[in-house]
Structure 1
Amino acid sequence: MQTFGLKTSYLFSPQLLGKYPQIATEFSSALIGNDKECSQIYAPEIDWYLSNSNASDEIKLENIHRFLQTRLSIFDNAPYKEYSLNVPNTLAIIGNDNELTQDFIKEAKDFQCTLILPSSISHISGQLGDFKAILHSGEEIGFAQATLFIQDDNLPKFLGIVSAGDFGSAKDILELLSSRVGTYTYKTTTLYNSHICQYHQRRPDSNGEGYCHKCVNVCPTFGVTKNDSLMELNFSQLDCMGCGGCIATCPTGALDFASFSIEVMIEALRYYQDTTILLIPEIFLDTLKDIALPSHISPLIIPREKFPSEVHFLSMLQESNHSMIFYSPIISRPSFEAIKLVNDIYEAICGTKAIFVAQDNQVLQTLWDKPTTLPHYSYTPSPKEPRRKHFAERLRYLVKDNDFGRVESGASGEMIRYGKIHIDESKCTLCNSCVGACNVDCLTANSKEFALQYNPSLCTTCGYCIPSCPEDALRLELSGIELNPSWFETHTLAKDELFECVECGKPFATKKSIEKIKAVIAPHFLGDSAKLRTIECCSDCKVKIMFENI
């Protein structure tokens, strides 16, 4: 089997093809290629590019090689699995018994249909291929898929339950439902690291919810849901539509896109150095027919449209050392905020826009000459490196030793937030409750200097440390990013000295903590010198004094 296969009527010279020995133009099977029948992994972008590019043969072959290497990066590094389940042809029609539902049942000849009156349903549970409707009477009705002829905001979030109002005709509905009957296969879409998740098994906020559940807020299906009783996220790879919106809004990188993870992206971008990237979600390739691609444009095809975050965009800009164009008729709110943030950064540092957005062909045609050269920087994050650290390392390179002012968090600050923690040092006793609350290491305890330290570039502004402080000494400011070296440095927020036991001289606490305890307890010990002295004693001497005064 060949690694790369290229079948085309377009003739490349043997000299050019000789530069890419992995690419075979004559083959019976290939790992990746543009022939559906002969390729294990189909790359439709190759034929699309050859049909629309005005580039020379040399540049065309360079870009085809980039397409193939990107697909290979996904094949080698994307840690997704394939799953399958059996979907029978049972179909529930949820609606009233009227002409509309009866006509639909007549057209659904290939399905075993059951009409269920909405008023009779207590609740519906299950998944594609195995749903159950529990009726008020106690009866259970099983079905594989369902069509709704009523208004319901939640049920269509299940894969396998569709709303008739979202389709133009009964034929369109039945074609979709029929495509799932039999053996239905699906893949892992999201990767989850609970250790840096800022919802997982954390204390709820004052509303009984978690401090961060943006992924749940943006999910249009039941792909990710939350359980506020257990404080755990639940993922359904089956119900997930794979749009990637949750990936873009995750501040820590606890979520990653299985089919285009950070590792996959970094590997693919190695082939895009010194290029102008045209970023295109694969699902929108068909909307770009009969366009004239200039020779300096190098398309980068990504699986879906909503997952790019500020880290993805900044990585593409730095690795390619050019500003870029993002074509997508749909842009998620998190990606929109990420684009604005990155553009604001480049405007402040380089005096130029970095990401040009086109949501239709007409706008795209006006952007070909907009991109310019930008500073090049290549960086490989460590495995499972938190997103803010990755972003900070890239941003640090742009800032260097300069001060470019401050940029806001984004359009709303709700999806992508940056800011700083402030402390009232007079209140802080260095109990380190805030350090224990922080799971991204922006707050740390320096045991050698007896200091509480903070790195603003790593902070996700989740706010979990604020109520964790028993002294109410912390305050969060959503002030954006400061484009100066200090932003990336570790600062001392509070510092203290060790307090030595008045009996044995052993250090056992900080001076501030002892002063705090004395201020609270001393009034209750007035007239009892022994008890007052125990406040300033270590645990061993405390017991000794108490026994001496029995």
Structure 2
Amino acid sequence: MQDFIYYNASGLDFPVSEQIFVTTNIEDTKNKNFLISNTTEIPSELTAQEIDFYIKNSQDNLSNKIKNVSKLYEIAATKYDLALDIPFSAEISNNVLLITQNQEQYDKFISNIEAKDFELFSINEDIIKSISGNIGDLQVIVTDENEDITLNVSQIVWFDVKQTGKERSGVFDTNLLNVEDIIKELKENINSYSYKKFTTYDAAICQYNERRVEICSKCEEVCPTVAITKDDKTKTLTFSQIDCDGCGGCVSVCPSGALDYAPTNRDSIFEMSKFYKETHPLIVPSKMNMQNLMLNLKENVLPFAIEGEKFLSEVSFLTLLQMSGSQVVFYSDVLSKGTKESIRIVNDIYQRKYQKDAILVAMDKEELEDALNEVCFIEDSYFNFNQNDLKKREAFSQRLQKIVGTEDLGVVKTGEHIHYGRVLVNEANCTLCLACVGACNVDALFANESDFTLRVNPSLCTACGYCEVSCPEADCLTIVRDEIELQPTWFKENILAKDTLFACVECGKEFATTKSIEKIANMMGSIFALSSETKKRTLYCCEDCKPKIMIKQGLLDA
């Protein structure tokens, strides 16, 4: 396979690397396989339209253009190699349900099809009771003369669609697409329907999964479809990749990093970011149609093409910022709740440190031109370390620690969709039972066995509150929520409580913390003393000695 192909009928007015096969004749590409192409006209594993966008708009000198074109091919290859967006396919029959309100809408659809195209059913939305399933396997329950009837169809065309239809794959909204385009897509789906895996999920660090109480379900809240559903009884999440539209909004609000974006995951962003040192990254989602965008890219601006527009988090931005040493321009007409809050948080941090915004958001062409004129390098902001396989909070912690250094830059507030915080413990009431450690699945709370301390790394805490719920002691553990303290102790192990080990009064073996033994003894001592002093003494014994002295007492009493 030839890795890289550049095709343009008009040619290319400067030389490029020998790794790139350049042609002006599309016939030269017949019967050949390519990894990365600059255009959809050439079949390839991945189309990188940012290459033509850069070539036609960049103001870089010739030498840098040659280097940067090669970079863009390598970046696209890196994205392809690290992508986890596994393709799937589904069988779609020609059963189509038409939901209309009047004869005019029905006639409009019928006039654009032939009888052989579909097995067509038509109903009025007033009789719909519920819709379930997904494209290829949709179940519509309708009420007809007080009887429920289930219609099994593959696709639905709904005039003036209601919210229940907007959430589900296989339901087409005539307000978004004209009837002709919908019919074309219906036919294409019957011939071949494919979809991709857009999210990966790690249940072990999910802050909803199998917890006794609901602490977090942000992903389900922000999902615009039925791709993520939750079971409140079992506290588990279900993911339907066929219903996912790939926006990535769930990823940017996931506090622990349990969710990641399969086409461009955290490791992929890190590896791609390595190519952006000493450039100004311009993030452009595919929906922004960069191939039709004409503007002047000043020197050193290099596009960073992504698929979805809502998955970028504070970690994504900070990685690209530090790896480039520059401000970042983000061109998107939509900002998800998580991404918007991430930008605000990172900008607040950069304002404290560098007195500049980190991310310049542009929502239209005019704003983009202004941002490209403004974007600049930020002195001493470059930082690189190997963050592959680190959890989301771990990577952010190390990057933020580099910014803070030895300074105290004050406090940055987080917010509704992204949470940071600090755990506080009333040491007088803490017995070091470590229930809070067991509750923390991001390793912010932990026990140090060498000195019998309970510790916290505040920079890893998601302020989920599960440790607070799990603590059995009254007035013991609390959380200061929605704050990031930009000072060195935020990144260090903080001792929350400390104790000594209690030695068994019989054999001398250390078996529990002193506070826990004293607590139990205070609660049960007077009750046990009613039976015998020996039973009371068992409160201070290890698990081996406790039955021994009870048996001995029983023999003496006999």
TM-score w.r.t. length of structure 1 = 0.92
Alpha-carbon displacement from aligned partner over 1:128-148 (angstroms, at most 9, x marks no partner): 012122345353321111123
User: What is the distance in 2 between the residues matched to 1:474 and 1:106?
Assistant: 68
User: What is the distance in 1 between the residues matched to 2:14 and 2:158?
Assistant: 57
What corresponds to 1:245 in structure 2?
A: 249
User: What is the distance in 1 between the residues matched to 2:419 and 2:354?
Assistant: 23
Once the two structures are TM-superposed, the CA of residue 149 in structure 1 deviates from its matched residue by 4.0
What corresponds to 2:548 in structure 1?
A: 544
Alpha-carbon displacement from aligned partner over 1:266-314 (angstroms, at most 9, x marks no partner): 2211111100111111220248522222223111111121111000100
Alpha-carbon displacement from aligned partner over 1:226-259 (angstroms, at most 9, x marks no partner): 1222221111111100011111111111111111
Structure 1 residue runs of 5 or longer lacking an equivalent are 205-209
Secondary structure of 1:372's partner? Answer: coil
User: What is the distance in 2 between the residues matched to 1:314 and 1:224?
Assistant: 27
8 Å CA contact retained: 2:53, 2:291: no
Moved more, 116-125 or 354-363: 116-125
What corresponds to 1:207 in structure 2?
A: none
**The one of 506, 512, 535 aligned to 1:509:** 512
8 Å CA contact retained: 1:12, 1:57: no
CA gap of 1:35–1:372, structure 2 versus 1, over 3 A, is closer
Amino acid at match of 1:512: K
Once the two structures are TM-superposed, the CA of residue 181 in structure 1 deviates from its matched residue by 2.7
Once the two structures are TM-superposed, the CA of residue 32 in structure 1 deviates from its matched residue by 1.0
What corresponds to 1:126 in structure 2?
A: 133
* 2:7 paired with 1:7: yes
8 Å CA contact retained: 2:216, 2:464: yes
What corresponds to 2:497 in structure 1?
A: 494
What corresponds to 1:188 in structure 2?
A: 197
Secondary structure of 1:140's partner? Answer: strand
Once the two structures are TM-superposed, the CA of residue 478 in structure 1 deviates from its matched residue by 1.1
Alpha-carbon displacement from aligned partner over 1:309-343 (angstroms, at most 9, x marks no partner): 00010001100011111110111111010001111
User: What is the distance in 1 between the residues matched to 2:433 and 2:480?
Assistant: 22
Amino acid at match of 1:51: K
Alignment size in residue pairs: 536
User: What is the distance in 1 between the residues matched to 2:110 and 2:427?
Assistant: 71
User: What is the distance in 2 between the residues matched to 1:167 and 1:274?
Assistant: 41
Amino acid at match of 2:277: Q
What corresponds to 2:445 in structure 1?
A: 443
Alpha-carbon displacement from aligned partner over 1:461-487 (angstroms, at most 9, x marks no partner): 111111101103211111411111111
What corresponds to 2:280 in structure 1?
A: 276
User: What is the distance in 1 between the residues matched to 2:39 and 2:359?
Assistant: 33
* 2:198 paired with 1:177: no
Percent of counterpart pairs with the same letter? 38
Moved more, 335-344 or 503-512: 503-512
Q: CA RMSD in A?
A: 2.1
Once the two structures are TM-superposed, the CA of residue 47 in structure 1 deviates from its matched residue by 2.1
TM-score w.r.t. length of structure 2 = 0.91
Once the two structures are TM-superposed, the CA of residue 346 in structure 1 deviates from its matched residue by 0.8
Once the two structures are TM-superposed, the CA of residue 92 in structure 1 deviates from its matched residue by 0.9
Secondary structure of 2:397's partner? Answer: helix
**The one of 148, 154, 164 aligned to 1:144:** 154
User: What is the distance in 2 between the residues matched to 1:105 and 1:462?
Assistant: 54
Structure 2 residue runs of 5 or longer lacking an equivalent are none
**The one of 427, 430, 446 aligned to 2:429:** 427
Secondary structure of 1:154's partner? Answer: helix
CA gap of 1:294–1:443, structure 2 versus 1, over 3 A, is same
8 Å CA contact retained: 2:284, 2:290: no
- 1:44-123 to structure 2, matched below 5 A, reads 44-96=49-101, 98-109=103-114, 110-123=117-130
Once the two structures are TM-superposed, the CA of residue 373 in structure 1 deviates from its matched residue by 2.0
Secondary structure of 1:397's partner? Answer: helix
* 2:375 paired with 1:365: no
Amino acid at match of 2:216: C
What corresponds to 1:23 in structure 2?
A: 20
User: What is the distance in 1 between the residues matched to 2:231 and 2:103?
Assistant: 39
* 2:384 paired with 1:378: yes
Moved more, 339-348 or 365-374: 365-374
* 2:160 paired with 1:153: no
Secondary structure of 2:263's partner? Answer: helix
Amino acid at match of 2:433: C
Amino acid at match of 2:196: K
User: What is the distance in 2 between the residues matched to 1:167 and 1:36?
Assistant: 24
Secondary structure of 1:31's partner? Answer: strand
User: What is the distance in 1 between the residues matched to 2:177 and 2:438?
Assistant: 54
User: What is the distance in 2 between the residues matched to 1:277 and 1:382?
Assistant: 21
8 Å CA contact retained: 2:131, 2:164: no
CA gap of 1:21–1:150, structure 2 versus 1, over 3 A, is closer
8 Å CA contact retained: 1:190, 1:256: yes
What corresponds to 1:33 in structure 2?
A: 37
Moved more, 335-344 or 522-531: 522-531
CA gap of 1:139–1:91, structure 2 versus 1, over 3 A, is same
